[in-house]
Every structure is written in C-alpha cells, then in structure tokens.
Structure 1
Amino acid sequence: MPWFVAIALLVVPVAEIYVIIQVGQAIGGWPTVALLLFESALGAWLIKREGRRAWKALQQATETARMPTRELADAALVLVGGTLLLTPGFITDIFGFFFVLPFTRPLARKALAAFLSRRIAAQLGGNPITGFMPGTFRPPTAEDADRAHRQREARDDVVQGEVIQGEVVDPERPQDTK
C-alpha cells in the first residue's frame, strides 16, 4: 500500500495540472480560476452540511446503543471527500463530490466495505464478512474449517502429553521419605 500512496502523490498533481491547463485552454484562464473557486466554495458548504448530518447520525447511533458502522463509514467518507474537495483541481473534486454527496455516498460506502473486506481477508486468511475463502467463489466447507483448526493448533504453544491418575504431589510441602 505505501507504494500506491507514493505513486499517487507523484501522479495526481501532474494529472491535475494537465487537466487545469486543458480546461483553461478550452474556456479561458479566468473562467477556469472562477470554476475552481466555485467548486471549493460549494465543497466547503457541502462538507459543513454533510459533516453535521454524519455527526448527528453518529451521536444518535451511540445514544441508542447500536453499533454505528454505517455512520462511521459516512463520517470517514465525508472527511476524505472534504479533504479532496478543498484540494485545488478537477480530478480530486470529482472524487470528493463522489464521497460527500448523499446520493453517491452509499456507492462509495459499498466500495469502502469491499476494500476493507479484502484487506481483512488477506490478513486473516479468509473473508470473515462473506464467509468465502480467498480465491474461491464458494462458502467454506467442513474441510476448510478442519484445515483452519489444524493451522491454529499448530500455532498454539501447547505441550502434548497425557494425564496419569495418581497421587497429587505438592512441590511446596515437604515429602515423607521412607
């Protein structure tokens, strides 16, 4: 993942500059600047509104003692979308609006859930959300469960042995030596 971030930090600014130049050549320099300022102002207003909604939904979920998974995902998407909207450029604004707008956020939430599900599956060796094993299109079988159980047992620090019924000896008490 760090390599992806490094490439994005190099490629995105270059792509943004290219798109801004192309838009500037098509509609002119001042209209391009005005469009960028308008998008930033609209984004700031939208972030404020949707951030407040996400915060209220999160508070309501915690007050009713239920797990706020959807609300946390929405709050994270609004935060990331807001950051992208406040970054100057057209490409980041497109993604920012996709994350912040209330009618596109459910799609972004599903994409986020799928991404996190794959990451968790890669870490745990199976997909705990769907129950599917990695690289397959089937639910786990009893054989898969047995294999996972054997792998867990192999990792445990357990000494195999047997219990012999007999007299219990306390090592702290002195013993009779006859």
Structure 2
Amino acid sequence: MRVLMALIIIVPALEIGLLVLSGNTIGPWPTVLLIILTGVLGAWLAKKQGLETIRRVQDQMRYGQMPSDAIIDGLCILVGGVVLLTPGFITDLIGFLLLFPATRKGIKPWIGKWIQRFIKRGNFTIIR
C-alpha cells in the first residue's frame, strides 16, 4: 500500500515536470499534439492487440487449453491502454512497453510471479 501511495504522488509530480520541460523545450502546441498522438496511437494499438488476444484465448479454449498466458497478455494490454490514455510521457512509456508484444514478453514472467506471490499470501483467491 505504501508503494501505491508513493506512485500516486511521485508519478504525477514527475509527469508534470516532464510536461513543463517538454513545453519549454519544443513548445506547448507540439507537446499537446504529442500527448494526443500517443493517446490515439495507444488506443489503436490496444484495440488491435486486444482483438488478437481475444482470438487467441478463444482458439486455446476451443482446443481445451488453459489460456493463462493469453490472460496475462490481456491484462497487460488493458493496463497499457489505460495508462496510455493518461496524459504524460512516463505513463506513455509504461503503456507502450505493455502493449508491444516484444517488450510485453519480458514483463509477463514478472507479472506471473507477482500474481503467484499474491495467491500464496492469500491476498488473491481463485474461484472455481
């Protein structure tokens, strides 16, 4: 909970600082256009990746396989799409890292371990 509170305070402060720096460096209008561009590009990429993941989940379930990897992909895509809609360069970087399959592949094992820790502690339950 402390880490979450720190992120809620620190990330917006850093975002504001970077936006002001960007506005001073390249100008306010290019900064605003860049934020809009990353939001639109992120929404398009999230939709594209999300639809591919849904198809993959359906295929895996059709063949009787557990789609655990695809579910983690879906979670990454959801979080990546949401943070890309948040204005700022740090959240955009996080969002694109979660949306691109190549970088998401490196992040997924960490997320899997994080979920397993939650399950072992009893903070996360699976309903069957």
TM over 0.5: yes
Q: CA deviation at 1:120?
A: 4.0
Q: CA deviation at 1:108?
A: 1.4
Q: CA deviation at 1:119?
A: 3.6
Q: Supply the distance in 2 between the matched residues of 1:94 and 1:111 (Cα, whole angstroms).
A: 18
- The question of 1:14 aligning with 2:13 is answered yes
Q: TM-score, normalised by structure 1?
A: 0.65
**Which residue does the alignment assign to 1:98?**
97
Superposition RMSD on alpha carbons, in Å?
Answer: 1.4
**Which residue does the alignment assign to 1:65?**
64
Q: Supply the distance in 1 between the matched residues of 2:65 and 2:112 (Cα, whole angstroms).
A: 19
**3-state DSSP of counterpart to 2:102:** coil
**Which residue does the alignment assign to 2:126?**
none
After the TM superposition, list the runs of 4 or more consecutive aligned residues in structure 1 that deviate by more than 3 angstroms: 117-121
Q: CA deviation at 1:9?
A: 1.4
**Which one has the bigger helix percentage?**
2
Q: TM-score, normalised by structure 2?
A: 0.88
C-alpha offsets along residues 9-64 of structure 1, whole Å, 9 cap, x if unaligned? Answer: 12211111011111111111111111111111110110110010111111111111
Q: Greater Rg, structure 1 or structure 2?
A: 1
- Residue correspondences, number: 122
Where does structure 2 lack aligned partners over 5 or more consecutive residues? Answer: 123-128
**Which residue does the alignment assign to 2:125?**
none
Partner letter of residue 53 of structure 2?
A
Where does structure 1 lack aligned partners over 5 or more consecutive residues? Answer: 125-178
